[in-house]
Chains A and B, each alone.
Chain A
């Protein structure tokens, strides 16, 4: 079984996009996966590698504000787009309220799924600040967590929603 699409034979082309607000110009094969571009070429290892078939959500990033599995996204699909990874979620001096909520509620254990989880919550809350339980389930059902049993994750999401309601 092939581990990766061999890059040989496919000419590297210029990719220009922004990553966490910073313009990035890269010479990569157009079919190189965004996951590997982030981790290997840009040293942004907060985006995690796990299933590489779009099932676990460990590799989730925002492309133009929408959550996508970076393991399924090819370089050419990012051209001219804005990519936000977990490293770009917090402000310089302050965690995003979502990250703060995960800390307070203990919505993580090993932490390997956490960047992807935070990204998916970010994507959800950019659509609505007051999601229903069904919307939360739907938004996070592509993010697998093996450690927590999701209890702490759900409490974290509820926590941040409540804070937004209080006008955080």
Chain B
């Protein structure tokens, strides 16, 4: 059954953050101001690779109205940051390694003066030869970005003897897939307000996906205890992984502490483009062989990722890609090798899908080609090789078993899109240059950070003096609807009304460590936290109420407005406010645990997976080479739907990103410089490309005894569409896609009547 408003009944609710969003009243952190505030700016490198010979800030500092011009000399603590490895300079001292590298930062009375000050800073560079391709970066004699060389990380996986197994294969497909540098393109660029407080503390109002991680990183840079830094990090105008790493925070913080005045920074779009993270461009070479009957006998993969100049989460993304080029299939022999390489291109890092998008585009491309070679239906071919319910995970490791793979496979098989795939298509009414085709893809996507990476989770419930139940989590609201989901969970778990409780997130002074809002983990972890806290909290509340009401706790229940009689739930016995007034000890329950990871030694291997099957119908205009998606079907097996509006929005929104990835989006770089500096040349989907039919079928059941509950859906919608479109295009016009975004030139055909004219002429 398709997910929509009418099918969701009362569970389709107005989001708590909705009214302020539709009226424009919501103050984003980049909307904030403070009296006496200064305007901060960052001077970034004009060169993709250069040695810094000298930085002279005298003229800039002498400009009236300029209050600070800071360089590496002014960083009191560690002059480096990075979630996993701290190798990215806050302010460069000896080298700049990409055009986003920061060299100096200024604070001035007005944005115009700050801009003038930047132009007065004199930096002498010795320009160096660059490496702008990961494969040349690996060659001997290539310029080296770091003392350890140009390799950030290698990862591989072997099972059996793929090399020799190819000799026994009846068919082998070899192909190299290339994927683009995709930009997150959150509509709100990076920025925020930095306020030095009277007591010596610093308050940072700036978006991030993990406030406590920003606090830790800032504490290292500023050499200031974490307790003296408060990070307020929600609401956020979009992130998609792009604001998880630090961006402008170090500069705002340094300037505010130096000038002892509030400082505001808000990146222009161009500054966001040049400094910000992108999705890793990857080249994935695959060689896959099957038996006569179509069994996968050998699968060999080589991945080269362009990670840019510094680490951030490049290694983790590569590990994820290695896991997902194996995916949901059984192979007799496997051989995966991969490398993530430093270049002088832009920074690559975390982005919704986390390396799965690239991996699955390639893997599913192989499956479609193999099926065709075998003369089999591509979906039957997948079925033949698909993992079974009790199979281990991609690395042969134990995983939480669900029947998701089978379920989404079956749902797709039953979809109208799939059933009509042979009969639909070119009709008498469509012009001859419009060709239609249908394609599908299969996705198994890991959630959580995986084995071997610190992945804390937790939350807190407490009764406040004003009678509100406070719900505290260290997660961030960047649009996904986390607050709305949490509200619905509280209503359903405790029988409360929305005004009985107060949700508190995004402030390091009050929240517990819940880990990062990333890797499709927040919904799962909120659910799990509430499962763990529900009974103790309820018992605590009811025991306190029983004392006050002089009865037995078991006669009482929690409900809307307060404590009610179990016998007559209509009867309100004690409001939460009265309970709070009576209680002489705090009513608090907190839980802390770790996101479930598999029992393995394989770093990054996942325990929990979400499954999806995606089918699309496309129209290819062979005159223009343009592809139009006219119908989409998504079956998603992620356990129970916690928030129907949020779930639908995640699949629709994720899919829209994948549409851009497939058809138009590419942050073009030449010689280490961005060519696509703004949204006039970097093209994300508009409403005009988004009017096709769209159906989402959630598969909610989980095996009996499953203890993990809802799996995340934040990323999976962004993964399967690209390979499905590629196959649909092939079905329409018979051309194989190996490179994203699809180049319309490759699909243009000279119309037959023109061909004749040319020949006859």
Contact = CB atoms under 8 A, between A and B. Distances in A.
Interface stretch (B158-166, B501-509, B595-603, B683-691): B683-691
A137 B23 contact: no
Q: How big is the A interface, by class?
A: 35 or more
A51 interface: yes
Interface string A1-23: 11110111000000000000000
A73 B159 CA distance: 62
A144 B238 CA distance: 13
B652 A151 contact: yes
Interface in A145-162: 145-155
A103 B679 CA distance: 28
B112 A4 contact: yes
B486 interface: no
A149 B718 CA distance: 11
A154 B656 CA distance: 14
A58 B678 contact: no
Contact of A111 (B235, B240, B686): B235
A125 to B, nearest CB: 15
* Chain A contact residues, majority secondary structure: loop
Contact of A6 (B18, B19, B28, B116): B116
B111 A147 contact: no
A110 B24 contact: no
Nearest to A105: B5
Interface stretch (B181-189, B358-366, B452-460): B181-189
A150 B185 CA distance: 15
Contacts of A6: 112, 115-116
A76 interface: no
B266 A154 contact: no
Nearest to B644: A106
A115 interface: yes
Q: Which of A50, A52, A152 has its CB near the most chain B CB atoms (within 10 A)? A: A50
B653 interface: yes
Interface string B625-650: 00000000000000000000100110
| Interface footprint category on B | 35 or more
Contacts of A39: 31
B555 interface: no
Interface string B479-496: 111000000000000000
A118 B25 CA distance: 13
Interface in A81-127: 85-87, 89-90, 95, 99, 102-106, 108-115, 118
A109 B480 contact: yes
Contacts of B24: 44-47, 85-87, 114-115
B563 interface: no
B187 A50 contact: yes
A102 B22 contact: yes
A86 B23 contact: yes
A56 B687 CA distance: 12
Contact of B679 (A47, A55, A148, A155): A55
A49 B12 CA distance: 31
B22 A99 contact: yes
A89 B19 CA distance: 13
A153 B22 CA distance: 12
Nearest to B41: A3
B187 A151 contact: no
Contacts of A51: 269, 678-680
8 contacts: A3-B268, A55-B678, A106-B5, A111-B21, A147-B238, A149-B659, A150-B652, A150-B687
Given A112-B238, A144-B679, A149-B659, 8 more contacts: A7-B110, A95-B22, A106-B18, A109-B481, A110-B188, A111-B21, A111-B22, A148-B656
